[in-house]
Amino acid sequence: MHESWIAERMRDIEVSGIRKVFDLAASLKDPVNLSIGQPHFPVPAPIKQAAHAAIDADKNGYTVTQGIAELRAKLKAEIDRRHPGLHDRELFITSGTSGGLVLALLSVINPGDEVIIFDPYFVMYPHFIHIAGGKSVVIDTYPDFRIDVNKVAAAITPRTKAIIVNSPGNPTGVVHPKETLRDLAQLSHDRKVLLISDEVYRAFCYDAPFSSPLPWNANTLVLDGFSKAYGMTGWRLGYCHGPRRLIDEMIKLQQMTYVCAPSIVQWAGVAALDVDVSPIVGEYKQKRDRLIAGLKDRYDLVVPGGAFYLFAKTPWGTGQEFVAEAIRNNLLIIPGGVFSRRATHFRLSYAASDETLEKGIAILNRIAQC
């Protein structure tokens, strides 16, 4: 083939460092894997049964682009319960939460527009912004991963189109305080900047109730999904709700790209909303607590209030060097530079069995002294 066939935009998009670790995991024999950002529990039985039933009932064709009415109605009722009194908002079903974010950015970003994100950030954010023709404006949140709203205000320019906030967050597990989200929501409203709230880890809050910025800014675009709370990462089922005018554009774009979310998975989503995941969340809180207790004497830690990640400072070397040593000891974790402009940390996921977690703690404590 001819190299000229490859678009210029692809030059700034590298293979994910997470994907590289996944590939490495396939080559190792029985590694201690604390790298994977997906729940380790099986999809609950009622959800599987609903998917089987949809297949057997021949519900295998395209749905309407915005998603089946049964799922949209059930989600809307839940959102209205959590956020009463909101008007002129719409909801639709997306092909994964990431799919929803792609649609959002392509619908609002013009070439050269700026999008504010917070470092450390979800690995895909800068790439999605780049694909849409925008520029990432990165605000550092080290060492405690908290948002300084004054820094956000200072970073807003006439080209700022959106701010993306993720709470609970990946890779840090930080849950931003209600007051911070309130101030961020009010700032975005006052400065006429779209606030995008990625709430896919909403179910996993351990020390305080979940808070969304939506109550303080009715124009907030909320992204959510089924992948984390129900272990449905490979099913690609998400949803978003926001200002009706914006949602209409996103639906139009989905019709021309993804067409619709997978049909049988939408019917499984209807069943999922009746599944109580609080026992699973309770187990993950225990895993979080065990991890912190096991590592706090040798590692500089910010205790994660949610999700299922720990973003720890390396006791020596760069994140890449430390992860290389971990891999030599059969432990898979992710270098922090995948999620950050700094190379001082590493991410591990405690979405793993207790046995795997204990092995990981032992290896990390051993190599901390290298």
- Residues 273 and 78: their CA atoms lie apart, in Å, by 9
Side-chain-side CA neighbours of 184 within 13 Å: the count stands at 31
To which residue do tokens 């599944």 refer? 275
Residue whose structure tokens are 């309407």? 64
Q: How many CB atoms lie within 10 A of CB 298?
A: 16
Radius of gyration of the chain (CA): 21
Q: How far apart are CA 216 and CA 219, in angstroms?
A: 9
Instruction: Output 129-136 pairs: Cβ under 8 A, ≥24 positions apart.
Output: 129/105, 130/9, 130/12, 130/13, 131/9, 131/13, 131/102, 131/105, 131/106, 132/102, 132/105, 132/106, 133/109, 134/105, 134/109, 134/110, 134/161, 135/159
**DSSP structural state of residue 86:** -
Which letter does DSSP use for residue 141 in this model? -
145 SS3 class: coil
**What is the mean pLDDT for each group of 10 consecutive residues in the chain (370 residues)?**
82 68 70 91 96 97 97 96 91 96 97 98 96 97 98 98 98 98 98 98 96 97 96 94 97 96 97 97 97 96 97 97 94 96 97 97 94
Residue type, 142: Y
Alpha-carbon distance 62 to 135, whole Å? 35
Q: How many CB atoms lie within 10 A of CB 266?
A: 25
CA neighbor of 108 nearest in space, from 158, 66, 32, 161: 161
- Which residues lie below 8 Å from residue 204, measured CB to CB, with a gap of 6+? 168, 228, 229, 281, 284, 306, 307, 308
Protein fold of 3-43+277-367: Aspartate Aminotransferase, domain 1 (3.90.1150)
Per DSSP (E only), the strands in the chain are 32-33, 89-94, 114-119, 135-140, 160-166, 194-198, 221-225, 238-243, 309-313, 331-332, 334-335, 345-349
Bridge partners, residue 165, by sequence: 197
Check if 3-43+277-367 and 61-272 are the same fold.
Answer: no
Fold classification of 61-272 (topology level) = Aspartate Aminotransferase; domain 2 (3.40.640)
- Domain boundaries of the chain, sorted by first residue: 3-43+277-367, 61-272
Is residue 200 a contact partner of residue 210, using CB atoms and an 8 Å limit?
no
Reading the block at residue 330, the tokens are: 């059969």
Contact 47, 272 (CB under 8 A): yes
Q: Give the span between the Cα atoms of 284 and 307, in whole angstroms.
A: 9
Spatial separation of the C-alpha atoms in residues 157 and 239, rounded to whole Å:
30
Number of H helices, E strands in the chain: 12, 12
Token digits for 287? 């895993």
Residues paired with 168 in a beta bridge: none
Under a CB-based contact definition with an 8 Å cutoff, are residues 318 and 359 in contact? no
Based on the number of CB atoms within 10 Å of its own CB, is 135 exposed (0-12), middle (13-18) or buried (19 or more)?
A: middle
pTM: 0.95
Cα dist from 143 to 146, 147, 148, 344, 345, whole Å:
8, 11, 12, 11, 11
What tokens were used for 211?
Answer: 């808070």
- Closest by CA position to 331, among listed 301, 283, 370: 370
For residues 49 and 351, what is the distance between their CA atoms, to the nearest angstrom? 24
Q: State the burial class of residue 11 (Cβ atoms within 10 Å of its Cβ: 0-12, 13-18, 19+).
A: exposed
Residues 360/349, Cβ–Cβ less than 8 Å: no
